[in-house]
Amino acid sequence: MNPLAALPVALNSLRVNALRSLLAMLGVVIGVGSVIVMVSISEGAKQAVEQQIASLGANLLVVRPGSSAFGGRRGGAGTATLLTDADVDAIRNEVANVAAASGEIGSSAAMVAGGTNWTTRIQGVNEDFFRVRDWRLERGRLFTAEEFRAGARVAVIGTTVAEQLFGVSDPVGQVVRIGNVPVEVIGVLQSKGQSAFGTDQDDVAFMPATTARSRVIGFTFNQRDPVFAIYVELAGGANPAHVQADIEELLRIRRNVLPGAEDNFNVRDMAEFIRARNETAAQLGLLLAATAAISLIVGGIGIMNIMLVSVTERTREIGLRLAVGARRRNIRDQFLIESVTLCVTGGLIGLLAGVAGTMVVEAMGQFPVAIHPMVAGLAIGSAAFVGIFFGFYPAHRASRLDPIEALRFE
Amino acid sequence: MNTATPARRRGKAAPAVSAGPFIQCRNLTRTYKMGDTEVKALRGVTLDIREGDYVAVMGASGSGKSTFMNLLGALDRPTSGELVIGGERLSGLSADALAAFRSRMVGFVFQQFNLLPRTSALDNAALPLVYAGVPAVERKRRAEARLQQVGLGDRMDHQPSQLSGGQQQRVAIARALVNDPRILLADEPTGALDTRTSAEIMAIFDRLNADGITIILVTHEPDVAEHARRKLTFRDGVIVEDRT
């Protein structure tokens, strides 16, 4: 006898005891539903991290001066230890597998256009910066290497700045004043939205670092062409650790770090940094999913209970089936299929409940969520597993009944 | 499933052509252990039953007649002794082998009918075929034929709760017959029925026996026992009377 032949019997028995079946399923519904919500939250956290990494720019290393050396307190040479444009050029030219690199120096400043003004971050960068940090142009153009060298008074602005200063009109070709310096807006960048740290990445204006240093940033440095940080884009397929080591070696020489002394700068793989920072979120999601799995086990115990009741109630039926020629495994299969049907039905309801719950979480806006298509398989798979695991004992018990005793059972 | 059965001997001529005993019991005993005490339900039963015979089994409760019926129906195994039915030795068979034997050789009719609730007469009658591996279309055809035979052709879709006691017992008889068994075992088949309905059920049994099937029935009622050709009376685990 094909085990699936027991399916109509199982469905009939569930239908006959509809309310009881529903209550027995409830544990599985809740278990599967909460597993799905938690997995979706965990998945959402993971996707958010990947998005942040993508918006940061792919394959990005960030070089900053070491804080301990900031201000030169530990420097053997006794000099300030900001990085410089010369370091940028050295990294670009001397380190293998570097696709592009740009320094960055910034300050807050007011930009004035017509009758309105807006204070934003002015960042001095070079022509490589846009590709390194994955900024794309929406309108106009980026500045060139020649304009960088010449200290041209041009700016490429983010969408927030464009909106604040120009509203709906086209900023490209307009002139803004930063302090007393007139600067031409040559391009508007595509929006990047919020950063991993929650700030508005589009509230920014980029200028050649040369122009920014001489015209915008008021304070002076005891160093030529300083930058606060250097962003390095790796060539495709390059090993970040190798490039990082090469940059460290180069900078130790350039910055006169004695052998055995600590680096007075650090090189960070930003993708790793963000992953590590967000690992907790993903792990928390998994922990919650594990907790939800426990409720699935509790649900399974409910199933086992109801199946044991069902076996006892139907002892005579089992006896009859044995008398008319059922093998032990036919009886076992019948109750197993009933248990699996019960659980999988619960799993399907739980799937719907879980997806609905995930949508509620999304609507509340507390956590990023992502519903992976795989959760459907997870719901049905885990429900079927619960059905088999917790249904086995009652089914086995049913199959071991003595036909004579069972037929005589009152 | 049915390939192991020897050539069927059925039809009106059946009793005449049966050669050798169909059922052979040799010194059958059955002892139950209840805690430390042993209950000897059967203390040595030896008898033969021809194929096509019509046997009434009588005796007080606890006399061993139910135990005897359980052994004949392959629901139970003897503690000692030999039991051969239709050439097959039942003494050493496994639980599943006994199930297979029941499936092709034996039909059961119970006092309490034992129909599946909320299940149509047709599905009830077809139940043994499910376990015999018969395809669904064939199951329906055969169950329908058997329900016609017991006079329930117009009640096939009814559930047990919609049928009278007599009708329910007819469904149970149709179920017992659906596998074309060679033995019909009936345990107080009229015990839950009124006199008129009992007579109808017994008329069905008589007809079936006339068609060649071996019938063994347990009863308390002398007028039911009168239908049988042979009467066995049990007392204290042995046969005390065997009247033809």
| Average pLDDT estimate for B62-78 | 92
Q: How many CB atoms lie within 10 A of CB A17?
A: 16
Residues of B in contact with A323 (CB under 8 A): 73, 75, 102, 108
pLDDT digits (tens, 9 = 90+) for A124-180: 999 999 988 888 899 899 999 999 999 899 999 999 999 999 888 899 999 999 888
pLDDT, average across residues A351-367:
88
ipTM associated with this complex = 0.89
pLDDT bracket for residue B3 (50, 70, 90): very low
Chain A nearest-CA distance from B196, in A, is 27
If one compares A45 and A317, the residue with the highest pLDDT of the two is A317
CA atoms within 13 A on the CB side of A70: 9
Q: How many CA atoms does the CB half-sphere of B141 hold within 13 Å?
A: 5
How far does CA A143 lie from the centroid of its chain?
A: 33
Q: Give the separation between CA A345 and CA A255, rounded to whole angstroms.
A: 68
Asked if the model's pLDDT at residue A73 lies above 60, the reply is no
Residue A196, pLDDT score: 62
Mean pLDDT of chain A: 85
* Through-space distance between the first and last CA atoms of chain B, rounded to whole angstroms: 35
Round to whole Å and give the CA distance between B208 and A172: 103
pLDDT recorded at residue A169: 87
Using a CB-CB cut-off of 8 Å, the residues of chain A touching B116 are 317, 320
Judged by a CB distance cut-off of 8 A, whether residue B114 touches chain A is yes
Cβ atoms of B183 and B72 within 8 Å: the answer is yes
Looking at the predicted structure, is the pLDDT value of residue A43 above 70? yes
Cross-chain residue pair A323–B108, CB shorter than 8 Å = yes
Cβ <8 Å between B99 and A326: yes
Q: Which residue has the higher pLDDT, A393 or A45?
A: A393
Task: Indicate yes or no: CB of B76 within 8 angstroms of CB of A321.
Answer: no
Per-residue confidence (pLDDT) for residue A3, from 0 to 100: 63
Q: Is the pLDDT of residue A408 over 50?
A: yes
- List of E strands, B132-188: 183-187
Q: Which of the four pLDDT bands, split at 50, 70 and 90, describes residue B4? A: very low
Which tokens hold the place of A324?
A: 């008319």
Percentage of residues in chain A having pLDDT higher than 70: 91
Res. B29: pLDDT tops 90: yes
The structural domains of chain A, with segments of one domain joined by +, span 3-52+279-408, 67-263
Q: What is the CATH number of domain B20-243?
A: 3.40.50.300
**H or E element that contains B31:** strand B23-34
**Interchain CB distance below 8 Å, A325 and B103:** yes
Q: Is pLDDT above 60 for B12? A: no
b/e A254-267 (16+ beta carbons within 10 angstroms → b): bbebeeeeeebbbb
B100 neighbourhood in chain A, CB within 8 Å = 325, 327
Average pLDDT over residues A103-128: 89
Confidence of residue A69 (pLDDT cuts 50, 70, 90): very low
For B96, the closest of A324, A327, A403 (CB atoms) is A327
Q: Does residue B16 have a pLDDT over 50?
A: no
The region of weakest confidence among A64-78, A82-96, A267-281, B144-158 is A64-78
Q: Is the pLDDT of residue A31 over 70?
A: yes
Two tokens, residue A69? 């050396």
Q: What is the mean pLDDT of residues B134-162?
A: 94
**A56-70, A205-219, A368-382, B88-102: which has the minimum mean pLDDT?**
A56-70
Are B79 and B239 in contact by the 8 Å Cβ rule? The answer is no
Inter-chain CB proximity A330 and B131 less than 8 Å = yes
* Facing residue for B131 by CB, picked from A1, A319, A407: A1
A18 touches chain B (CB under 8 A): no
Residue A75 has pLDDT above 70, yes or no: no
Give the domain ranges of chain B: 20-243
Percent of chain A with pLDDT over 90: 36
Asked if residue B133 has pLDDT above 50, the reply is yes
What are phi and psi for residue A204, nearest 5 degrees? -160, 150
A407 close contact with B: CB closer than 8 A: yes
B25: three-class secondary structure by DSSP: strand
- What is the distance in angstroms between the Cα of A312 and the nearest Cα belonging to chain B? 15
Start-to-end Cα distance in chain A: 29
| pLDDT band for position A197 (cuts 50, 70, 90) | low
- Contact between A105 and A209 under an 8 Å Cβ cutoff? The reply is yes
Is the model's pLDDT at A55 over the cut of 90?
no
How many beta carbons lie within 10 A of that of residue A81, not counting itself? Answer: 22
User: How many CA within 13 A on the CB side of residue B154?
Assistant: 0
